Amino acid sequence: MTVTDSDLAAVSAPVEQARGLPNACYTDPAHFAREADAVFFASWAGLAFAADAPEPGDVKPVRFLGQPLLLARDREGVLRVFLNVCRHRGMILVEEAARLPRAIRCPYHSWCYELDGRLRTTPHVGGPGTNRHAAIDRAQLGLVEVRSHVWMGVVWVNLDGKAPEFETYAADLRARWAAFDRPLAFAPDGAFELEVACNWKLAVENYCESYHLPWVHPGLNSYSRLEDHYNIEAPGTHSGQGTRAYRPMLAEDGRRFPVIAGLDAQWEEGAEYVALYPNVLLGVHKDHAFAILLCPQGPERTVERIAIGYFDTAVLGEDWAPMRARNAAMWKEVFEEDIFVVEGMQKGRHAGGFDGGRFSPVMDSPTHCFHAWVAERLRQPA
Amino acid sequence: MSDPADPEAAPLSATHPDQPRDFVAPGADRDFAGERLTVDPAGARALLDARLIAAHAAGDTARLVTLYAEAGDSSEAAGDAAAAAFYRTHAYVFALQSGDSRAEELHRWLLREGREE
């Protein structure tokens, strides 16, 4: 079941000759663990939404590929990610999301940390009633911070600390979407989750290409035909698809969501859907955007967390609630239409004779771009 | 936790707005209603322990701060500096956890005693 360099070389071949990633990449627990290190921890992976800890004092534990992490927003509103473990004996610090008045207290021996990670006190560490000791240097024993960055409402993390700066990693996409690089207002009623019985990569693959749209989402044919779409490929960081025929939703009274003022003509009728590798799927339109976090739960199970945001905070008002609900329902229906596909491909990956499959050089190149990136990550020396 | 330079300063545990109504300040001979108290020291200690256990069970950090501070005051009044430091450490920890303003004063005392940083 081991995935060899030869297998990976076949994936990295030009799209016309390339095979897809082999079955073990979708089914093998050992490979899943290898992928956690090589693909997720070594790059900028989507961990959570900034809205998961919206107010000062908010903490939220997040288990990410086995790693116990903690989102914490300090008194000044700065959001950080830490290892969710005490520097003393490795006890899990926070078990449930909470809004803390001040310090994080370890429930074991009560070492206390400020929300910015500083170790505040170490009770009885020098004996009963003596809370200091020369061997315990608090300046060196704050919570272990994980590199993090917030963009488009998503909290990205780089666990091995070696990836280039997020601004560098995402520079091409940020430049492409400069018109949308502005605050997003996320409504709680625009968030939902889907649990799917598939490897996380299948959700990326399906999202990247427009090839499946007329077959899996036939409702799109009426206004956004296959030929209205185009591929987006940025080897090494992202790929996806765009449409030149985005049609904003109309409210029953004829209103539309407010749009970003002064957009280029491209965005008047266009929208784009991009996977920023490895696990964040983003969509932008002139009136709203969304992010899908793919949270791998195992080689064959993924939780998709979806959040829809608007560029005008007025849309969060009660008068827009029915329209927001319709928009969320529309996207949920689209994403649910994809479930049988990704779960079907997962089942197919148990066919021992399947060689990873072939790509349409015309229609599947964004998916191949993603496969080639994964293969390249796996070929990196540990 | 009175400042020795200020004989009028009240014990920390007796001055905070979170003070429970059934609280009895160490050394006091009257309760809040002005009734004369007849609780003996051992009985008072047992009562305090029972309150602490109840506050722990309820996760009531504000009350834990108050009660541990009270235990610290009692210990100090009895001349047991080590016990005072122990209890005030607990009061300090729960004050930090709950954002209780008494944390600063408790910290200052522990620092003065060479028990904190």
Q: Are residues A205 and A324 in the same domain?
A: yes
Contacting residues of B for A86, CB less than 8 Å apart? none
Q: Is residue B97 within 8 Å of residue A101, measured between CB atoms?
A: yes
Query: Hey, which residues does B15 pair with through a beta bridge?
Result: none
Q: How many CB atoms lie within 10 A of CB A221?
A: 12
Whether residues A243 and A349 fall in one domain = yes
Residue B75 is predicted with a pLDDT of 93
Q: Is the pLDDT of residue B86 over 80?
A: yes
Flag whether residue A105 sits within 8 Å of chain B, measured between CB atoms: yes
Whether residues A129 and B116 touch (CB distance < 8 A) is answered with no
CA distance A119 to chain B (A): 11
pLDDT at residue A164, rounded to an integer: 97
| Strand locations in A104-237 (E) | 104-105, 112-113, 119-121, 145-151, 154-158, 185-196, 229-234
Cα–Cα distance for residue pair A26/A81, rounded to 1 Å = 29
Phi, psi of B16 (to 5 degrees): -85, 145
Mutation pick from B64, B80, B89 vs chain A, by most beta carbons of A within 10 Å, is B89
For residue A121, being part of any structural domain is answered with: yes
CATH number, residue A103: 2.102.10.10
How high is the pLDDT of residue A250? 76
Q: What is the ipTM of this complex?
A: 0.88
Domain that holds residue A372: 11-17+177-379
| Contact in structure between A151 and A237 (CB atoms under 8 Å) | no
Residue A198 domain-assigned (yes or no): yes
Q: Residue A57 domain-assigned?
A: yes
**Would residue A172 count as lying in a domain?**
no
Average pLDDT over residues B50-74: 95
Cα angle B68-B72-B74, degrees, rounded to a multiple of 5? 115
Residue A323 lies in a domain: yes
Kindly state whether residues A125 and A269 are assigned to the same domain: no
The residue that leads in pLDDT, B31 or A44, is A44
* Percent over 90 (pLDDT), chain A: 90
- For B39-71, b/e burial (b = at least 16 CB within 10 A) is eeeeeeeeebeebbeebeeeebbbbbbbbbbbb
**CA torsion angle A34 A37 A39 A45 (round to 10):** 140
Q: For residues A64 and A105, state if they share a domain.
A: yes
Indicate the residue of A100, A101, A110 with minimum beta-carbon distance to B93.
Answer: A110
Calpha distance A128→A271 (Å, rounded) = 64
Of all residues in chain B, the one with the smallest CA distance to A126 is B115
Count up the domains in chain A and report the number: 2
Q: How far apart are CA B79 and CA B76, in angstroms?
A: 5
A143 three-class SS = coil
Q: Classify residue A234: in a domain, yes or no.
A: yes
Share above pLDDT 70 across residues of chain B, in percent, rounded to a whole number: 65
Same-domain check for residues A182 and A222:
yes
CATH fold of B21-112 reads 1.25.40
CATH of the domain at A193: 3.90.380.10
Position B37 pLDDT exceeds 60: no
Q: Write down the pLDDT at residue B27.
A: 45
A99 touches chain B (CB under 8 A): no
Residues of A in contact with B104 (CB under 8 A): none
- What pLDDT, on the 0 to 100 scale, is given for residue A300? 98
Residue stretches of chain A with pLDDT short of 70:
1, 382
Domain boundaries defined on chain B = 21-112
pLDDT at B19 over 70: no
Give the one of B84, B96, B115 whose C-beta lies nearest to A103's C-beta: B96
Decide if pLDDT at B18 tops 50.
Answer: no
Give domain status of residue A203, yes or no.
yes
What pLDDT sits at residue B40?
A: 62
Query: Is residue A207 domain-shared with residue A322, that is, in the same domain?
Result: yes
- Same domain for A137 and A238, yes or no, is no
Same domain, A237 and A102: no
A132 and A234, same domain (yes or no): no
Q: B9 pLDDT exceeds 60?
A: no
pLDDT class of B28 with cuts at 50, 70, 90? very low
